[in-house]
Amino acid sequence: MNLGNTVVQFATAPVRLGLAIADLGLSIAGGTLKTVQRSLNDPNQMSGATSFAGMLGLDEAVNRANRLARLMDDDAPLGRALAPEGPINQLLRQGGLVDQLTAPGGLMDRLTAENGPVARALAKDGLIDQLTAEGGLMDRLTASGGVVSRVIEPGGLADRLLAQDGVVERALRQDGVADQLLSENGPVGRALAPGGLVEQVTAEGGLIDRLTTDSGALSRLIAPGGLADQLLADDGLIERVLREEGVADRLLAEGGLLDTLTDPDGPLLKLADVADTLNRLTPGLEALAPTIDALHEAVITLSQVVNPLSNIAGRIPLPRQRNRRGNTGPRAVVSERVIDEDR
């Protein structure tokens, strides 16, 4: 007997046992997948597949596989997106949008070039350094008494959003905004329904199809000399925004627009104070509503009383006023004649 062989076999026994178990598991998984495939192709075999999956405890996995298969049907949105001439194929095909983005000299190359926008933003004293520097925007936002501290402090914005009957509570409660959006006849349900917005967008000749064609909007956007080139060109919009003393520098500088807006006495906090004042005035205005209604009714009643009195006053004759007017005229004329005789 070869002692070496015996020792080797004894040492490798656990490994061989593990491989045998793994092989058995793969065989079972392969049989399950074949059963699922047959059940998808032939509805009459569903009961057999279900019983076999039940024996193996794979009911949930089979149900998930069935749902995934239904999502990838030819007439389903995901199936149309993955079709040979679908939007994803058009994006990934040779010369398609992804190729144009990642081609040498393309948009990604220009963005990540040595002197490109990303490099300038990550350079020393660049945009990222200015944002994260001591006393910079991030420092001011996260400082004690800063915007973030005020948002998460007791009674702050986060507390008001998460309070009972707050915005989040009203959105997530039964029959709230989320329920209305996700209901069968809600906007999301209508968008995902057959013939809905998603189907129109992903259909052949739809929005995504038109955007990703060779002469579509995205192709024109990233073409040489297109909008992307104009934005990334020397002295282009992004260059003017990110260069030294540019728009970003002026926005983030001390005393700049963002500094002014986030100042403790800045306009944002004043707007918040105004909003709080308006919220406090709301109950008073609501309490005045019955008084305003009563005043309106009183005005209508007074108008109904005054109109008949005005009609009566218009019918009363005034002869004395007419005599006075008649006597006034001749006296003025006599006075003028006397003056003429004296002359």
pLDDT tens figures, 156-175 = 788 888 888 777 887 887 77
Does 292 score more than 70 pLDDT? yes
Q: Which residue would you say has higher pLDDT here, 216 or 23?
A: 216
Confidence bin at 54 (pLDDT 50/70/90) = low
Residue with tokens 């004296």: 342
Q: Are 62 and 32 in contact (CB under 8 A)?
A: yes
Closest-CA residue to 109 (of 224, 254, 243, 6): 224
What's CA 28's distance to the chain center, in Å?
46
At residue 332, the pLDDT reads: 47
Q: Which residue would you say has higher pLDDT here, 130 or 311?
A: 130
Gyration radius (Cα) of the chain, Å? 42
What's CA 273's distance to the chain center, in Å?
26
Does 333 score more than 50 pLDDT? no
Q: Which two tokens stand for residue 205?
A: 């000749």
Confidence bin at 52 (pLDDT 50/70/90) = low
Does 48 score more than 70 pLDDT? no
Residue with tokens 């305003």: 292
At residue 202, the pLDDT reads: 79
At residue 51, the pLDDT reads: 52
For the chain, helix, strand, coil in percent to 5 are: 75, 0, 25
Mean of the per-residue pLDDT values of the chain:
72
Helix, strand or coil, per DSSP, at residue 131: helix
The separation between the first and the last C-alpha atoms of the chain, rounded to the nearest angstrom, is: 173
Question: Model-level pTM?
Answer: 0.28
Does 246 score more than 70 pLDDT? yes
Confidence bin at 66 (pLDDT 50/70/90) = confident
What b/e readout covers 36-72, taking b as 16+ CB neighbours within 10 angstroms? Answer: beebbeeeeebeebeebbeeeebeeebeebeeeeeee
At residue 129, the pLDDT reads: 83
- Cα–Cα distance measured from residue 62 to residue 290, given in angstroms and rounded to the nearest whole number: 64
- Cα–Cα distance measured from residue 151 to residue 158, given in angstroms and rounded to the nearest whole number: 6
Does 329 score more than 60 pLDDT? no
Confidence bin at 30 (pLDDT 50/70/90) = low
- Cα–Cα distance measured from residue 212 to residue 295, given in angstroms and rounded to the nearest whole number: 64
Closest-CA residue to 236 (of 126, 111, 98, 125): 111
As a three-state string, the secondary structure of 237-256 is HHHHHHCCCCHHHHHHCCCC
Which range, of 63-77, 198-212, 297-311, averages the lowest pLDDT?
Answer: 63-77
At residue 263, the pLDDT reads: 75
At residue 343, the pLDDT reads: 47
At residue 47, the pLDDT reads: 47
pLDDT tens figures, 261-284 = 777 777 777 787 788 888 888 888
At residue 119, the pLDDT reads: 82
Q: Which residues contact 46 (CB under 8 A, 6 or more apart)?
A: 39
At residue 281, the pLDDT reads: 83
Q: Are 261 and 268 in contact (CB under 8 A)?
A: yes
| Percent of the chain surpassing pLDDT 90 | 0
Measured CA to CA in angstroms, residue 283 lies from 278, 286, 289 at distances of 10, 5, 10
Q: Are 267 and 261 in contact (CB under 8 A)?
A: yes
Does 334 score more than 50 pLDDT? no
Confidence bin at 45 (pLDDT 50/70/90) = very low
At residue 286, the pLDDT reads: 83
Q: Which of 3-12, 21-30, 235-244 has the highest mean pLDDT?
A: 235-244
